[in-house]
Amino acid sequence: MALYNRVNGRVLKEKMRAETQKRVTISFYKYHHISDPAVFRDQLYLGLEAMEVLGRIYVASEGINAQISVPEEKAEAFRAYLYSIPFLDNVRLNIAVQDDGKSFFKLKILVRKKIVADGLDDSTFDASKTGVHVNAKEFNALAEDPNTIIVDMRNHYESEVGHFKNAILPDVDTFREELQLVEDLMKEQKDKNLLMYCTGGIRCEKASAWMKHQGFKNIFQLNGGIIEYTRQVKQEGIENKFIGKNFVFDERLGERITDDIIAVCHQCGQPCDDHVNCKNDGCHLLFIQCKACAEKYNQCCSEECQHILTLPEEAQKEIRKGVNKGRQVFKKGRSENILYKPE
């Protein structure tokens, strides 16, 4: 039995878009020593595939990081299966804020060196000594304290469309860059309350432990991240200090938290917060594009990519040869290839 998907991605995407059964998008993570990540990965694949679970999961010797889509009718069976794994018993499951059931089109489980690329040598500090976990109400109280500095531990393209009020928004592409930047930024303010947040909490787990290791005294992290915060403010009727969209790493590319649109189209500068990937398979740049520009440029980031789409498929394949297939993102304010520069 194949322990990976063999069907063409385009076929799977069409199947996902046509699917009528309701699905629930869930994310979870757990730092825990896994003695044989490859064996655990295969066992997990078999268990999840049997329940028609789709998604992307990273497994490493340090734990698991998962974003998945589960058929609604099998949600309880999935929960029972997951909790039957001893180290995942009662792990917090973050349920998507805004979900159309079209978040993933295949099941992909990868064995990695780390479940989040942080660039840290874990042997040099105790990653279990994290900051104080706070809920939504406690987060709001700390945010009102003049001695608190709020730091967004996500990448620039995430915070560009949504963030907490008065937060510092580092202009970085990766979490690895962010750790060093925040450490340098805060080095003269080690007695301040450092209040960190991210999408679901996983980046803050490592970041808070690292900052404590660097001598910062008052470290706090939003438990469950933006996703859990949003659930709590709705459930408890408390003030929502987050504005805009919560960027997510799946086919949806964002969850609407408030009606505020705080970003602009990278091609025309009109208010917009819809992330897209350039339609040219040899580019796939992640950027913000309004509907008018999507029509004008045929869902591409540039006239060059738009032209490539008019070429025969074989010619497009030739152009794509040797192209880096890694994630390419619009560089906010730092790229020589700015799509749009505000006046």
Residues that are catalytic: 198
3-state SS track over 189-215: CCCCEEEEECCCCHHHHHHHHHHHHCC
> pLDDT value at position 112?
96
Centroid of chain to Cα 98: 14
Domain ranges of the chain: 9-111, 132-236, 263-342
Q: Mention every residue, 6+ apart, whose C-beta is less than 8 A from residue 155.
A: 172, 173, 174, 175, 178, 329
> pLDDT value at position 2?
62
Q: Which fold, 9-111?
A: Alpha-Beta Plaits (3.30.70)
Per run of 10 residues, the mean pLDDT along the chain (length 343 residues) is 76 85 96 96 97 97 97 97 98 94 94 94 91 98 97 96 96 91 89 96 95 93 98 97 97 96 96 96 93 97 94 91 72 46 39
- Confirm if 30 and 87 have CB atoms less than 8 A apart: yes
> pLDDT value at position 205?
94
Q: What is the pTM (predicted TM-score) of this model?
A: 0.90
CA-based nearest residue to 66, from 31, 101, 15: 31
Class of domain 132-236: alpha beta
> pLDDT value at position 4?
79
> pLDDT value at position 208?
95
The H-or-E segment that residue 7 falls in is: none
